[in-house]
């Protein structure tokens, strides 16, 4: 005799099926309208969830409820992998609160549309065309639709493997330095995830200053930040093609080349400007000065870790840092800024114009005019957001312009370097920086696409007429 299932169990199963169907329909409706809108929705939802978690009494070390603006700012900074803080990560938050921040960094590092693709895969049990379109949008259309499933696996596997390797390298050093094994494991895992995702959060109250000459700690952090700043499409090329430079994609060539140029130039420039600064590195040996300069160059473009107080740098160094932060890292990476490929495309366009070439070329490839329009749009919108953000912060405080611009660019570029202005701002100022972090992580083009009410398709074309430029 076959036993009958209880009625309540059948009802629960039907309810579960209906819930999954509702979620699938909801995801499909957003995906059909615009992947960018879905990214905006998911990113906002994730931030609100982490804000609620950080607002819980158990998230703070004292057991008290954290102010909403501080919890929201921290959630945005973690999910947007920025690293700006308004309260001490080490002393204000409990272990649960730090765990929430670390989870936010990991999720934010993967990206919103990657999460959307995974959500579609979980709900639908397969990655259909819509899910692949979401993932393709997440990776800035850097891969063909048929390769999306492979690329998603590479993204997740690469992230986890690199973070595990970094943690394995860091944990023994913390043990040798006298930390209990459980604390050394926690700090190693925290730094590895924070470094690869270019977040810049530190679980130590005094940050990395005690380790300013310890290459065992600094080297893994620099390697993790640099790899994370290249972007997953580049990592995919490096994994599949490796040393065969000729077979690299144009995107990979531009990203790696410009990243290395900025790394070397930033190291020499930062070291030259701070070499005799008594408040930073003047009293160190030549080797330690070189380490500081290299570390600053790597971290300035998005890493967010620092070995010197940013307020102690010269005004010229702060300006250099502003420029490097605004440049950022690679597209579809954990880094922020306007992206190095944007800089490369604009530089190549300027060179082509100076030579009188009709096309913009690089490594035997012609860059379409549409890519140049996007690059111009990204630079203009980024500069506009920095201008508006700086004006708003200046209207709320009496801080000098250079300090305000530094903090605003750091927020927009999701870098995380700070002059401690974030913690001193009123709640309204913290919300302004939160909006800048959100826009910087989402990407100006994605954000504009998400907020667009409709797309226009023109069936006619006006005659050409060239205005006078310059």
222: pLDDT confidence band, cut at 50, 70 and 90?
very high
Which of 6-10, 41-45, 47-51, 457-461 is most confident?
47-51
Positive or negative torsion for Cα 17, 21, 22, 26: positive
CA 343-456-348 angle, 5° bins: 15
DSSP secondary structure letter of residue 452: -
Contact 102, 90 (CB under 8 A): no
According to the 3-state scheme, what is the secondary structure of 130-142? HHHHHHHHHCCCC
Contact 338, 378 (CB under 8 A): yes
Residue 114: per-residue pLDDT: 62
Residue 369: per-residue pLDDT: 85
In the predicted model, what is the mean pLDDT of the chain? 84
Domain residues for the domain of 379 are 11-450
Which of 72-76, 122-126, 152-156 is most confident?
72-76
Q: Give a yes or no: residue 455 inside a domain.
A: no
What are the residues whose beta carbons fall under 8 Å from the beta carbon of 388, sequence distance 6 or more?
Answer: none
Q: Give a yes or no: residue 43 inside a domain.
A: yes
Q: Distance between CA atoms of 410 and 325, rounded to whole angstroms? A: 6
At 270, list the tokens.
């930062």
* Residues 167-188, mean pLDDT to the nearest whole number: 95
CA nearest to 325, candidates 334, 317, 312, 337: 337
CA nearest to 115, candidates 24, 198, 39, 33: 39
At 414, list the tokens.
């999701």
Residue 456: per-residue pLDDT: 60
> Does residue 12 carry a pLDDT above 80?
no
13: pLDDT confidence band, cut at 50, 70 and 90?
low
Q: Give a yes or no: residue 373 inside a domain.
A: yes
Element (H, E) at 365: strand 365-367
pLDDT > 70: what percent of the chain?
79
Q: Give a yes or no: residue 48 inside a domain.
A: yes
* Residues 248-252, mean pLDDT to the nearest whole number: 89
Q: Give a yes or no: residue 1 inside a domain.
A: no
Q: Give a yes or no: residue 466 inside a domain.
A: no
* Number of domains, the chain: 1
Long-range CB pairs of 265-270 (<8 Å, 24+ gap) are 266/296, 266/297, 266/300, 266/301, 266/320, 266/324, 267/293, 267/294, 267/296, 267/297, 268/293, 269/320, 270/296, 270/297, 270/300, 270/317, 270/320, 270/321
Q: Distance between CA atoms of 27 and 64, rounded to whole angstroms? A: 37
* Main-chain phi, psi angles of 339, to 5 degrees: 85, 145
448: pLDDT confidence band, cut at 50, 70 and 90?
low
> Does residue 9 carry a pLDDT above 60?
no
Q: Give a yes or no: residue 47 inside a domain.
A: yes
Contact 164, 192 (CB under 8 A): yes
Tens of pLDDT, residues 342-356: 999 999 999 998 998
1: pLDDT confidence band, cut at 50, 70 and 90?
very low
Tens of pLDDT, residues 143-177: 554 455 566 666 778 888 999 999 999 999 999 99
CA nearest to 84, candidates 75, 92, 93: 75
Tens of pLDDT, residues 357-380: 888 999 989 998 888 888 888 899
Distance of CA 70 to the CA centre of its chain: 20
* Main-chain phi, psi angles of 81, to 5 degrees: 45, 55
Q: Give a yes or no: residue 457 inside a domain.
A: no
Tens of pLDDT, residues 396-425: 999 999 999 999 999 999 999 999 999 999
What SS3 state is found at 367?
strand
Residue 151: per-residue pLDDT: 64
């Amino acid at each position: 005799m076959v036993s009958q299932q209880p009625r309540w169990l059948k009802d629960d199963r039907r309810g579960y099926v209906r819930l999954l169907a509702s979620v699938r329909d909801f995801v499909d409706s957003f995906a059909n309208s615009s992947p960018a809108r879905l990214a905006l929705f998911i990113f906002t939802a994730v931030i609100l969830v982490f804000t609620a978690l950080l607002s819980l009494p158990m998230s703070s070390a004292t057991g008290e409820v954290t102010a909403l603006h501080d919890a929201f700012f921290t959630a945005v900074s973690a999910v947007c992998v920025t690293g700006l803080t308004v309260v001490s990560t080490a002393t204000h938050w409990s272990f649960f609160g730090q765990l929430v921040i670390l989870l936010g960094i990991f999720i934010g590092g993967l990206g919103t549309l990657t999460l959307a693709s995974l959500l579609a895969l979980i709900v639908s049990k397969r990655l259909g065309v819509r899910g692949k379109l979401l993932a393709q949008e997440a990776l800035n259309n850097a891969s063909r639709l048929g390769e999306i499933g492979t690329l998603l696996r590479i993204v997740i596997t690469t992230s986890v493997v690199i973070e595990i390797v970094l943690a394995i390298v860091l944990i023994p050093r913390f043990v040798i330095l006298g930390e209990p094994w459980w604390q050394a494991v926690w700090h190693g895992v925290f730094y590895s995830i924070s470094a690869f995702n270019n977040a810049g959060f530190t679980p130590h109250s005094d940050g990395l200053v005690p380790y300013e000459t310890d290459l065992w700690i600094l080297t893994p952090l620099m390697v993790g930040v640099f790899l994370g700043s290249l972007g997953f499409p580049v990592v995919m090329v490096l994994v599949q093609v490796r040393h065969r430079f000729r077979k690299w994609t144009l995107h990979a060539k531009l990203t790696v080349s410009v990243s290395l140029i900025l790394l070397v130039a930033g190291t020499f420039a930062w070291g030259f400007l701070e070499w005799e600064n008594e408040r930073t590195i003047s009293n160190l040996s030549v080797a330690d000065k070189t380490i500081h300069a290299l570390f600053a160059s790597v971290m300035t473009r998005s890493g967010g870790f620092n070995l010197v107080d940013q307020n102690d740098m010269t005004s010229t160094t702060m300006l250099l840092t502003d420029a490097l932060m605004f440049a950022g890292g690679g597209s579809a990476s954990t880094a922020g800024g306007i992206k190095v490929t944007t800089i490369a495309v604009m530089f190549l366009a300027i060179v082509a114009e100076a030579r009188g070439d009709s096309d913009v070329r690089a490594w035997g490839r012609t860059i379409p005019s549409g890519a140049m329009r996007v690059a111009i749009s990204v630079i203009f919108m980024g500069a506009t957001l920095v201008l508006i953000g700086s004006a708003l912060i200046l209207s709320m405080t009496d801080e000098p312009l250079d300090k305000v611009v530094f903090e605003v660019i750091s927020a927009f570029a999701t870098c995380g370097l700070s002059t401690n202005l974030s913690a001193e701002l009123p709640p309204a100022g913290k919300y302004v920086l939160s909006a800048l972090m959100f826009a910087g992580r989402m990407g100006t083009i994605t954000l504009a696409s998400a907020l667009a009410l409709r797309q226009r398709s023109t069936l006619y074309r006006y005659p050409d007429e060239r205005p006078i430029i310059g």
